[in-house]
Amino acid sequence: MAGCATRFNVARALKSTEVTGPEPFGRFHLRELLNTGGMSEIWLVVDERSKPYALRRLKHDLRFNFTARRRFKRGCEVLSQLTESDHIVGYVEHGKVSGTLYLLMDYVQADNLKELFARQDSVLKENVAQILIDAATGLSHVHESGYMHLDFKPENILVTRNGAVRLIDFDMAQPIPEAPVKFAKNPGTPSYMAPEQLKREPIDARVDIFAFGVSAYELLTNEKPFPGDSPGEILAAQMEPAGPVPLREHNPDVPPALEQVVLKCLERDPARRYALSGLLVRELQGALYV
């Protein structure tokens, strides 16, 4: 995907942060602030040849925060080790400028799935089948490269105007263990965490498959499969014997075969989910006649 652009969830409110002049950052020039989060900023930049890139840099006030620096660097290193894929944002380089860590990526004109969903953008309705398959394919590529994402959610799925998907943000990614392991910290976003994560039990890559199921359920039904305002409430909903409300009760247009694929991803017991994300991709393709 080299040479493509990355728009990274451009909010209208950020237009006021456009740089009027070529503000330098190392050998790059900052053009526009595309997005900002708790730990980093993402800028549209150009190099000395005026080629555009997306540059993510650690916020200035975190330059001495060793936890943030370690997490940022891990995300850079994981992305650098993923082989090129049409469904993962393209890595260019990472390093530091005057002590500030940065990650340079291909620039792709896209918004994240959460923002598109919030405004019910037509690109979702027109491309929902391909978005589901491409997101699962990107996740499968991450797993085949030896990593679990551990923060798979709509905010970390970019979608272009023609429906192409790129996965982003590998700060929480970890190598896939040979057997489930318990982490000292609990990475992820509670609404997309599997029960074993919320219970602080050993986990493996099947938690990503659960997170895909939550994301797909939301996209197809406009509802959360396990509603709750806290990790405890979400876990309680996951433990309900009846399981989540079938998708077709919310949206009768969901094909029965697709409903079964998503519900399999959402199984409480990880042994009942797809063992491999590649199997998930094939089941989705069959359910959607792709």
pTM for this predicted structure: 0.90
Token pair of 221 as six digits: 């039904």
Average pLDDT, the chain: 91
Lowest mean pLDDT among 16-30, 125-139, 178-192, 207-221: 16-30
> Residue 88: pLDDT above 90?
yes
Together in a domain, 142 and 281: yes
* Same domain? 92 vs 174: no
Kindly report, residue by residue over 231-274, the tens digit of the pLDDT.
Answer: 999 999 999 999 999 999 999 999 999 999 999 999 999 999 99
In single-letter form, the type of residue at position 208 comes to D
* CATH at 33: 3.30.200.20
Give catalytic residues, as residue numbers.
Answer: 151
Q: Are residues 206 and 265 in the same domain?
A: yes
Quick one: 76 and 195 in the same domain? no
Cβ contact 262:121 at 8 Å: no
pLDDT of residue 20: 45
Residue 22: pLDDT band by 50, 70, 90 thresholds? low
Supply the range of the domain harboring residue 277. 111-287
Q: Is the pLDDT of residue 10 over 80?
A: no
Burial of 49 (0-12, 13-18, 19+ CB in 10 A): exposed
Q: Give the pLDDT confidence score for residue 202 in this predicted structure.
A: 96
Q: Is the pLDDT of residue 12 over 80?
A: no
Which pLDDT does position 184 carry in this prediction?
82
Same domain, 73 and 121: no
